[in-house]
Amino acid sequence: MEKSTAIILTHGMLATSNAKTCHGLLRGTERFDILAVIDYQHAGSDAGEVMDGNTLGIPIFASVAEYKNSELPIPKYCVVGVALHGGQLPDDFREELYTAIGSGMGVVCGLHTFLSDDPYFNALAEKNRLELIDVRKPKPRNSLRFWTGDIYSVKTPKIAVLGTDCALGKRTTCRMLMESCRKNDIATEMIYTGQTGWMQGYPYGFIFDSTVNDFVSGEIERVIVDCANESNPDLILIEGQSALRNPNGPCGSEIILSGNVTGVILQHAPGRRCYDSTDISIPLIASEIGLLSLYGARVLAITLNEENMTDAELTAYQRETEATMGIPVVRPLKEGVDRLIPVVREFMGF
């Protein structure tokens, strides 16, 4: 995939979990070459430092206009780098995007507001001969497939990275695991299931939440079958969405059942009490592992999101949970995920 230049608009949210699309792109993308982040709260800082303390050499500008006045080149795209509950484009993002289009940038957006359906955006983009890419726009029905059972012919080992909630690092852990596997000579493909995954440029995937429900199972099957047949990897990793028991949109059983997935890495935030944007308690991790076993999937390891926990608390939780559950409990952002390689190899039958 040839990379396109891009800037990412987070408009004050870079340090929040709403900027997970931006965070994903900063952590690595085969689709874009990121020149800068636009965020008025953090102008002048380095984007990586704001995100997780690791310098990336990617500058932050206060506005698209300020970026335009810098000596950096006009990128091919301005990417909307936030995911918002409800998925609507906030009004104060509009002005920034108007400036971006007026300055010669196309727009990539993964929200539920489709810019290409907006008469004003459409006219502006047409006038400037620029692209509006709505990543979440559903595919036409005749390009979707129903589930057929072909999945059972795939012999490649498959691991899903599921989580106990939304927005706690499933995709990041999945990508880190892909990189670690490749470094360890396990030819690995990662299947994306969200808009950020598309933006990161993995060749196989689909956008789960913008697919008409009846085709979700078939799309899961199709991407796995295509990936196995075309790339023939040693291992397929699948990015999960939401959580099995999140009332805001339960998800995961389709990946296990329709994708015939038997291994799970479970991302968990021990410092988070309730499902994202609700006051509904997240069940105990042992209960989630039990639920997954009823679906026929074995949890190979637990990976931790660090929010609301001190280093000491995380270490204690990690030790206790490893002892209780008898599986590795890993802190990806602190220690990487290389410690998962032995369980992955064991799962693969080595």
Name the one residue in this structure whose structure tokens are 């944007």: 277
For a copy of itself, the closer CB: 153 or 315: 153
Q: Is 299 in the site for a copy of itself (CB under 8 A)?
A: no
Residue 56, both tokens: 């990336």
Task: Provide the phi-psi class of 56: left if phi over 0, else alpha when psi is between -120 and 50, else beta.
Answer: alpha
Q: Is 312 in the site for a copy of itself (CB under 8 A)?
A: no
Measure the CA–CA gap between 50 and 305, rounded to whole angstroms: 17
Determine whether 216 is exposed, middle or buried from the number of CB atoms within 10 Å of its CB (0-12, 13-18, 19+).
buried
Give yes or no for a contact between 260 and 286, defined as CB atoms under 8 angstroms apart: no
How many angstroms separate the Cα of 147 from the Cα of each of 169, 249, 322? 28, 21, 37
Contacts of 17 (CB under 8 A, 6+ apart): 167
> Which residue in the set 104, 295, 341, 343 belongs to the binding site for a copy of itself (CB under 8 A)?
295
Contact pattern from residue 262 through residue 291 relative to a copy of itself, giving x for each residue in contact according to CB under 8 A and a dash for the rest: ----------------xxx------x--xx
Measure the CA–CA gap between 327 and 330, rounded to whole angstroms: 10
Q: Is 18 in the site for a copy of itself (CB under 8 A)?
A: no
Write down the least CB distance from residue 203 to a copy of itself, Å.
Answer: 22
- Binding piece for a copy of itself, criterion CB under 8 A, among 39-47, 256-264, 301-309, 321-329: 256-264
Contact pattern from residue 137 through residue 166 relative to a copy of itself, giving x for each residue in contact according to CB under 8 A and a dash for the rest: -x--x----xx-x-x---------------
For a copy of itself, the closer CB: 59 or 87: 87
> Which residue in the set 86, 119, 326, 349 belongs to the binding site for a copy of itself (CB under 8 A)?
86
Query: In a 3-state reduction of DSSP, which class is residue 35?
Result: strand
- Binding piece for a copy of itself, criterion CB under 8 A, among 22-30, 31-39, 254-262, 337-345: 254-262
Q: Is 87 in the site for a copy of itself (CB under 8 A)?
A: yes
Give yes or no for a contact between 233 and 154, defined as CB atoms under 8 angstroms apart: no
> Which residue in the set 3, 85, 273, 298 belongs to the binding site for a copy of itself (CB under 8 A)?
85
Measure the CA–CA gap between 15 and 50, rounded to whole angstroms: 6
- Binding piece for a copy of itself, criterion CB under 8 A, among 17-25, 57-65, 101-109, 205-213: 205-213
Q: How far apart are the first and last CA of the chain?
A: 32
Q: Please state whether beta strands 60-61 and 132-134 pair in parallel, antiparallel, or not at all (unpaired).
A: unpaired
> Which residue in the set 126, 183, 247, 298 belongs to the binding site for a copy of itself (CB under 8 A)?
247
Radius of gyration of the chain measured on its C-alpha atoms: 20
DSSP string, 127-160: HTT--EEETTSPPPGGG-----SGGGG--S-EEE
Binding to a copy of itself (CB under 8 A) within 91-110 occurs at: none
For a copy of itself, the closer CB: 16 or 148: 148
- Binding piece for a copy of itself, criterion CB under 8 A, among 57-65, 66-74, 82-90, 341-349: 82-90
Measure the CA–CA gap between 52 and 116, rounded to whole angstroms: 33
Q: Is 213 in the site for a copy of itself (CB under 8 A)?
A: yes
Name the one residue in this structure whose structure tokens are 């726009």: 137
Chain residues binding a copy of itself by CB under 8 A are 85-87, 112, 138, 141, 146-147, 149, 151, 208-214, 216-217, 244-250, 253-254, 257-258, 260, 278-280, 287, 290-291, 294-295
